[in-house]
Amino acid sequence: MAELVGGWAEVLPVDVADLRAVLPLVHVGFAVSEIAYYAGVTGSLADAEVAYETYPVGHARWWQGPSAQALPDRISSGRPV
């Protein structure tokens, strides 16, 4: 996480509102690739379902909770996450 924000800060100032908008999207590409891997490469629809529930759905639920809501403020303040 620190690397992501550090790279961002080298290009543009890091704004808490921007973090709130972008951070939930960070794992979307990974989530989609995991679902595709299990459904396509291994042919395991059961594992693809687990990947679906764990990554995009699970992360979306996590972002609605208090720990996730506090994360952008922690990052922008420089405190460890």
Q: Which residue has the higher pLDDT, 4 or 55?
A: 55
Residue 79's pLDDT is what?
Answer: 65
The answer to whether position 3 is within a domain reads no
Does residue 78 sit in helix, strand or coil? coil
Task: Identify the domain containing residue 57 by its residue range.
Answer: 14-75
The answer to whether position 24 is within a domain reads yes
DSSP letter for each residue of 44-67: -HHHHHHHHIIIIIHHHHHTTSHH
Q: Number of folded domains in the chain?
A: 1
The answer to whether position 32 is within a domain reads yes
The answer to whether position 5 is within a domain reads no
The answer to whether position 61 is within a domain reads yes
The pLDDT tens digits for 1-19 are: 777 777 878 888 878 888 8
pTM to 2 decimals?
Answer: 0.64
The answer to whether position 8 is within a domain reads no
Residue 37's pLDDT is what?
Answer: 97
Task: Give the angle 15-28-65 at the CA atoms, nearest 5°.
Answer: 60
